[in-house]
């Protein structure tokens, strides 16, 4: 896979799947625009990209729930590079809550980041993606495919992203722009701890996941990064509207 001369814009790039994808795509020759809220961690990602490829990425601090920040991300990218070849919508948040104990405030926080921010950034980037015959990869979740109790707003947001992916794929297909998503299972990142799990609970959760994923283990960020790179590459030139599980078989399992 070769991303030479391609400008790759990725959100949520300060840690986890986003950081891994950014570094991997840089290794494959891409010119990265990395976006995140945490400046210190974003700079760590930028330094890793610099170390592996010798290219300095454009690092942009932005909150994807802020309309002006989202617009600035696209404006700054075009000002520096003049084009966008690949958009990777990775920014996302997770919080626990059921229909009995969640709040509208939580619902709004999750939907604004996981759905509204994706919608706005994609809308603004589409004219440039049409110009380059580029493509979009959305980072969804197995929670968009399967139903799990206890993370209601998150589940809804990821189901929305899966439908968004398919609809955008159809709307842009004849203009030469592909749109796909990856749907990770449990991947070792800090998203669960940010969602409220302490160290002990997280350790037990990871151990339990050995039984809920068919391959008997959780995933690593690099495994998702490789799937993202494939979908974004010319190797997937006849692939659009796909929600690709990268979940160790979690989506295919049912309780017994």
**Token pair 């690593």 in the structure block, residue:** 220
Number of Cβ within 10 Å of residue 215's Cβ equals: 12
232, 240 in Cβ contact below 8 A? Answer: no
Q: Which of 119, 128, 154, 202 is catalytic?
A: 154
Residue 107 among the catalytic residues? no
Show the tokens assigned to 64.
């994807």
Note the helical H segments in 54-197. 67-81, 104-111, 117-132, 152-172, 191-194
Strands (E), the chain: 7-10, 31-36, 58-61, 86-89, 135-139, 178-184, 243-246
DSSP classification of residue 90: -
Q: Which amino acids are annotated catalytic?
A: 154
């Amino acid at each position: 896979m070769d991303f030479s001369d391609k400008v790759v814009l990725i959100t949520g790039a300060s840690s986890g799947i986003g950081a891994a994808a950014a570094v991997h795509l840089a290794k494959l020759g891409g010119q990265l625009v990395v976006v995140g809220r945490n400046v210190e961690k974003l700079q760590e990602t930028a330094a890793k990209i610099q170390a592996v490829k010798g290219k300095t990425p454009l690092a942009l601090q932005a909150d994807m729930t802020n309309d002006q920040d989202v617009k600035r991300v696209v404006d700054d990218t075009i000002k520096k590079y003049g084009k966008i070849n690949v958009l990777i919508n990775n920014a996302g948040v997770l919080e626990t809550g059921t229909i009995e104990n969640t709040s509208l405030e939580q619902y709004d926080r999750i939907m604004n980041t996981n759905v509204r921010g994706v919608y706005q950034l994609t809308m603004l980037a589409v004219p440039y993606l049409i110009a380059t015959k580029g493509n979009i990869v959305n980072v969804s979740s197995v929670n968009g495919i399967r139903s799990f109790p206890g993370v209601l707003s998150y589940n809804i947001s990821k189901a929305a992203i899966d439908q968004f992916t398919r609809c955008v794929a159809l709307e842009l297909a004849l203009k030469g722009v592909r749109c796909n998503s990856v749907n990770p299972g449990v991947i070792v990142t800090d998203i669960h701890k940010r969602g409220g799990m302490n160290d002990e609970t997280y350790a037990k959760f990871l151990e339990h996941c050995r039984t809920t994923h068919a391959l008997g283990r959780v995933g690593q960020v690099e495994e998702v990064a490789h799937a993202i790179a494939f979908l974004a590459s010319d190797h997937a030139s006849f692939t659009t509207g796909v929600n690709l599980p990268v979940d160790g078989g979690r989506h295919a399992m049912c309780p017994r």
